[in-house]
Chains A and B, each alone.
Chain A
Amino acid sequence: AQSVTQPDIHITVSEGASLELRCNYSYGATPYLFWYVQSPGQGLQLLLKYFSGDTLVQGIKGFEAEFKRSQSSFNLRKPSVHWSDAAEYFCAVGAAAGNKLTFGGGTRVLVKP
């Protein structure tokens, strides 16, 4: 069975500082990996995805993520956060040929001025 763990429930970061959100997954085959962001009262927006190839993927809004197979991790990073990055971030894993997405518990990011 596939599973996703996001160890940090809350993270507070100062505006302009760097951000890293952790994601560890469990999946028996090659996973499809995703990061989504949910702003207050909004649906989920896809930030980036990893299917295969280059393990460092670039996404929207200046985010990037690195796939590390040996660590079963897919951590999300941003060099300099903006106040508008305050939101909840979800990591998700899916089967390469299947349909189901399994989500982590989410990390809520607070941005201090």
Chain B
Amino acid sequence: SAVISQKPSRDICQRGTSLTIQCQVDSQVTMMFWYRQQPGQSLTLIATANQGSEATYESGFVIDKFPISRPNLTFSTLTVSNMSPEDSSIYLCSVRPSSGGEQYFGPGTRLTVT
């Protein structure tokens, strides 16, 4: 399995601002993903972070709101732009090692927007 870290672990932000979340993996991985977990809810895939190309977004999520970067095979960032209270959630990154179908998750970033 991969060891995944996320920064920050939590943050409280004002509406209208933006927050960038970092995800670092201890080994090179082909696939990285970003998920959102709204309070008391399950996980929803935001996008697949593609190395060297634009991210692939799921229905209901757009690049202007959730820009993603993937500069190399061990690092990705997710920005939550122009935040509103509805963006209060836990944001998790995950990786899929090339050898398997399972995904491993980071500890998450708990975001509160006031």
Contact = CB atoms under 8 A, between A and B. Distances in A.
Interface in B1-40: 1, 4, 31, 33
Contacts of A46: 1, 102-104
Interface in A41-67: 42-46, 49, 51
B101 A49 contact: yes
Interface in B49-106: 58, 92, 94, 96, 100-106
Interface in A12-56: 32, 34, 36, 42-46, 49, 51
Interface string A83-110: 0000000100010100111111110000
Nearest to B43: A103
Query: Interface size for chain A: under 10, 10 to 19, 20 to 34, or 35 or more residues?
Result: 20 to 34
A49 B101 CA distance: 9
Given A100-B45, A103-B43, A105-B42, A43 B101 contact: no
A94 B96 CA distance: 12
A43 B102 CA distance: 15
A103 B45 CA distance: 9
Contacts of B58: 100
Interface residues of B, number: 23
A34 B102 contact: yes
B1 A103 contact: no
B34 to A, nearest CB: 12
Nearest to A34: B102
Contacts of B96: 99
Which are the 10 A-B pairs with shortest beta-carbon distances? A44-B105, A43-B107, A43-B105, A32-B101, A103-B43, A103-B42, A105-B42, A43-B108, A49-B102, A106-B42
12 contacts: A36-B105, A43-B107, A44-B43, A49-B102, A99-B48, A101-B43, A101-B45, A101-B94, A101-B103, A103-B42, A104-B42, A105-B41
Interface of B: 1, 4, 31, 33, 41-45, 48, 58, 92, 94, 96, 100-108
Interface of A: 32, 34, 36, 42-46, 49, 51, 90, 94, 96, 99-106
